[in-house]
Amino acid sequence: FHRSPAKFKPFISAASPGEPWMKVRPLKDTDYDRGFLQLLSQLTHVGNVNRTQFLTRFSQMKASGDYFVTVIEDTRKNEIIGAASLVIERKFIHNCAVRGRLEDVVVNDTYRGKQLGKLIVVTVSLLAEELGCYKMSLDCKDKLIKFYESLGYVAIPGNSNSMTIRY
Ligand code: 16G
């Protein structure tokens, strides 16, 4: 992801996210009490996921070794204000390669203008590259295409259709 044209003004990074009270780190069990699921509900329907369900699902994700859920915490408020997941898909093709999927990207809408969307996407995209993914893909709403293009993602003409069956 070093080829990414992403530019930060002023410069920020996962190690130094711009404010002393911001922390970029992996998800942890106690984030259930930091509003992680409430944040996800700014993205889509979450439902009534209780603590046990959350912990069970999270431990399944950790056990698989293929889920890297990354968050941004506001340490002043003890609250999760951004999240994005890297999901690793194992392949036979490309010499048993791994492919990355960028999922469930959300930033609390009251924290606009701090480049946090860019920060969390770049962080997770770099992680995918570090882990040896040969590509990283995502689905997004039309209005977000420009945002992802600004971070180096490209829609491949003739080969970029996202199709879905809902169950
Ligand atoms: C977006 C998300 C996807 C998420 C889905 C939820 C990104 C890049 N894409 O497509 O990860 O799972 O929305 O929408 O964050 P749904 O509830 O309609 O499946």
pLDDT of res. 70: 98
Label residue 1 by pLDDT band (50, 70, 90).
low
How many whole angstroms from 139 Cα to the centroid of ligand 1?
7
In a domain? residue 5: no
* Atom 12 in ligand 1: residue holding the nearest Cα: 104
In a domain? residue 114: yes
How far, in Å, CA of 82 to CA of 79, rounded? 9
CATH (domain of 145): 3.40.630.30
In a domain? residue 13: no
User: Which residues form the pocket of ligand 1, taking CB atoms under 6 Å from any ligand atom?
Assistant: 43-45, 102-105, 138-140
Q: How many domains are contained in the chain?
A: 1
Q: What is the 3-state secondary structure (H, E, C) of the chain?
A: CCCCCCCCCCCCCCCCCCCCCEEEEECCHHHHHHCHHHHHCCCCCCCCCCHHHHHHHHHHHHHHCCEEEEEEEECCCCEEEEEEEEEEEECCHHHHCEEEEEEEEEECHHHCCCCHHHHHHHHHHHHHHHCCCCCEECCCCHHHHHHHHHCCCCCCCCCCCCCCCCC
In a domain? residue 7: no
Q: Residue 105 CA: which ligand 1 atom is closest? A: 15
Q: Residue 106 CA: which ligand 1 atom is closest? A: 15
Q: What is the pLDDT of residues 21-66, one digit of tens each?
A: 999 999 999 999 999 999 999 999 999 999 999 999 999 999 999 9
Which of 139, 143, 163 gets mutated to test ligand 1 (max ligand atoms within 8 A of its CB)? 139
How many whole angstroms from 140 Cα to the centroid of ligand 1?
7
In a domain? residue 53: yes
Q: What is the pLDDT of residues 123-133, one digit of tens each?
A: 999 999 999 99
In a domain? residue 2: no
Provide the domain limits for residue 39.
Answer: 22-150
In a domain? residue 41: yes
pLDDT of res. 158: 84
Label residue 161 by pLDDT band (50, 70, 90).
confident
In a domain? residue 8: no
